[in-house]
């Protein structure tokens, strides 16, 4: 990118850009960093004296950049922005807060669709739209005849035939509403993400690597739509009519994949948004995670390293627990053993129930162990309890660790606050989970429990973000500002 930009613009002189010489060592170190940075805005920063006639070649232009230790910062250029002004230095692109705000708003929309998706499942509305029309599906039936066409299509589904044969048109309209809202929200997320992404990328408000990463997230949004339809198809499958006792519902595997991908999308948007906002503040001189000490010193501290590694492991565990929750939801396993902490008066159900051979499909029963874990509702609920309890005590241990005076002093203040918030959220989430179970999965509690899992994941991600070193661009901008002030 750098070389093509240099080739594209003819340069008449290999002289230095019009900058004031500056000799402070702080400035030199800034530019040794700047020269190493690969995301430089070359086209505007290489403005040179127009009188000379030397043609710009990639090598002499790079030499110009190499000489940039002589460059100083003007007052106007010291304000972090996406790129630099004509008389400023080749600083990397630093995404502005608008980018952070857009990413956080996108993450909020994903949280909303997760909750609407949960309510859609809980109200058993998910199979009410029997086709996937990515464009025209945005318009709901408008006339009575349109509604009848949709209702008649639904009447052909196993869900109507086996479970819902007594519903009338008004009932159908209300289940249709949830599934339709879920799908419309999905499209809205696609447009609200891809549109601004194209804008920010074209206006060079975000670096190349960030553009690539966020483009990957847009692909994930598209894939999520396709996966959603693949999941719905499993519930419309006519084989449900042939298997005695079969309940027409979507495959728990596909439900877990759909929920897992939604969580990954959410994490991608939330993590990137937080990083952009924090980097911007840091570049503007705010303390890093509330700390006044040197960042490297803090991050190299073995106590901090241990807390960070533990937090990564716990974030993974929260994700795994949430995935096991999707299996509970997918198999309606929350309608069994509605007591806590015991299951049928014991800590664990008997092993012949946990590993009931009826769930094996292979002749030699070699698949019994994994089918029990993923297909037997008793085992699936038991796994969710074990994982949730481990996650809870893990986060409690993190919190207790953070209370130790040595650890408290070693961590930046914001990390301590974030750990406290994560522990609070773990308490709320476990209480919501237990209440959901005890009250036989009422819709408001189950939906709150689902939203709670996203909040807990966000809380753990936030702990990690408070321990993240600011990005290279933010470090350069901050150093540049500091050097500008020193003059």
Query: Which residues make up the interface to ligand HEM (CB under 6 A)?
Result: 118, 121-122, 259, 318, 321-322, 325-326, 328-329, 334, 340, 384-385, 388, 391-392, 429-430, 433-434, 436-437, 441, 446, 449-450, 453, 456
Of 93 and 374, nearer to ligand HEM (C-beta) is 374
Taking the complex as a whole, the smallest distance from the CB of residue 450 to ligand HEM amounts, in Å, to 4
92 vs 325 by CB, closer to ligand HEM? 325
Residue 319 Cβ vs ligand HEM, minimum distance, rounded to whole Å: 8
C-beta closer to ligand HEM: residue 192 or 320: 320
Shorter beta-carbon distance to ligand HEM: residue 16 or 115: 115
- Whichever of 69 and 254 has its CB closer to ligand HEM, that residue is 254
CB of 247 to ligand HEM, least distance (A): 13
HEC string for the chain: CHHHHHHHCCCCCCCCECCCCCCCHHHHHHHHHHHHCCCECHHHHCCECCCCCCCCCHHHHHHHHHCHHHCCCCCHHHCCCCCCCCCCCCCECCCCHHHHHHHHHHHHHHHHHHHHHHHHHHCCCCCCCCCCCCCHHHCCCCCHHHHHHHHHHHHCCHHHHHCCCCCCHHHHHHHHHHHHHHHHHHHHHHHHHHHHHHHHHHCCCCCHHHHHHHHHHHHHHHHHHHHHHHHHHHHHCCHHHHCCCCCCCCCHHHHHHHHHHHHHHHHHHHHHHHHHHHHHHHHCCCCECCECCCHHHHHHCHHHHHHHHHHHHHHHHHHHHHHHHHHHHHCCHHHCCCCCCCECCECCCCHHHHCCHHHCCCCCCCCHHHHHHHHCHHHHHHHHHHHHHHHHHHHHHHHHHHHCHHHHHHCCHHHHHHHHHHHHHHHHHHHHHHHHHHCCCCHHHHHHHHHHHHHHHHHHHHHHHHCCCCCHHHHHHHHHHHHHHHC
Based on CB atoms, which residue is closest to ligand HEM, 200 or 266?
Answer: 266
In the complex, what is the shortest distance from the CB of residue 69 to ligand HEM, in angstroms, rounded to a whole number?
A: 51
Minimum distance, C-beta of residue 275 to ligand HEM, in the bound complex (Å): 23
State in angstroms the smallest separation of the CB of 340 from ligand HEM.
Answer: 5
Q: Shortest approach of ligand HEM to residue 248 CB, angstroms?
A: 16
Min dist CB 454 to ligand HEM, Å, is 8
Residue nearer to ligand HEM on the CB measure, 69 or 182: 182
Nearer to ligand HEM, 414 or 446 (CB): 446
């Amino acid at each position: 990118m750098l070389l093509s930009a240099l080739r594209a613009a003819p340069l008449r002189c290999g002289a230095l850009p019009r900058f004031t010489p500056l000799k402070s060592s702080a400035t030199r170190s800034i530019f040794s960093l700047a020269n190493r940075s690969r995301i430089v805005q070359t086209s505007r920063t290489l403005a040179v004296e127009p009188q000379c006639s030397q043609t710009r070649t990639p090598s002499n232009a790079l030499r110009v950049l190499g000489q940039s230790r002589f460059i100083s910062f003007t007052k106007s250029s010291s304000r972090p922005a996406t790129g630099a002004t004509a008389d400023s230095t080749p600083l990397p692109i630093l995404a502005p807060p608008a980018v952070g705000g857009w990413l956080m708003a996108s993450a909020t929309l994903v949280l909303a669709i997760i909750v609407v998706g949960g309510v859609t499942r809980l109200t058993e509305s998910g199979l009410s739209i029997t086709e996937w029309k990515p464009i025209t599906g945005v318009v709901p039936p408008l006339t009575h005849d349109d509604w009848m066409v949709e209702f008649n299509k639904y009447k052909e589904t196993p869900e109507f035939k086996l479970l819902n044969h007594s519903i009338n048109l008004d009932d159908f309209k209300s289940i249709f509403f949830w599934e339709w809202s879920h799908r419309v929200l999905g499209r809205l997320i696609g447009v609200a993400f891809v549109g601004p992404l194209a804008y920010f990328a074209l206006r060079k408000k975000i670096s190349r690597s960030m553009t690539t990463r966020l483009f990957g997230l847009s692909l994930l949004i598209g894939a999520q739509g396709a996966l959603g339809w693949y999941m719905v198809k499993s519930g419309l499958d006519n084989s449900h009519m042939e298997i005695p006792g079969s309940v027409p519902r979507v495959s728990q595997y596909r439900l877990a994949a759909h929920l897992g991908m939604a969580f990954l999308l959410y994490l991608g948007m939330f993590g990137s948004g937080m990083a952009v906002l924090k980097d911007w503040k840091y570049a503007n001189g705010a303390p890093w995670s509330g700390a006044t000490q040197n960042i490297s010193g803090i991050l190299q501290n073995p106590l901090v390293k241990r807390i960070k590694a533990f937090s990564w492991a716990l974030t993974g565990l929260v994700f795994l627990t949430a995935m096991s929750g999707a299996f509970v939801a997918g198999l309606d396993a929350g309608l069994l053993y509605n007591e806590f902490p015991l299951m049928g008066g014991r800590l664990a159900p008997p092993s012949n129930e946990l590993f009931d051979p009826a769930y094996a499909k292979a002749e030699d029963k070699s698949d019994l162990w994994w089918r029990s874990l993923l297909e037997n509702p008793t085992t699936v609920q038991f796994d969710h309890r074990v994982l949730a309890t481990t996650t809870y005590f893990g986060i409690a241990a993190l919190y207790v660790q953070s209370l130790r005076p040595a650890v408290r002093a070693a961590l930046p203040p914001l990390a301590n606050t974030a750990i406290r918030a994560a522990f609070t959220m773990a308490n709320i989430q476990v209480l919501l989970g237990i209440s959901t179970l005890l009250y036989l999965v009422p819709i408001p509690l189950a939906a709150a429990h689902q939203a709670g899992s996203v909040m807990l994941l966000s809380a753990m991600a936030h702990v990690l973000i408070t321990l993240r070193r600011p990005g290279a661009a933010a470090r350069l901008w901050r150093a540049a500002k500091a050097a500008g002030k020193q003059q």
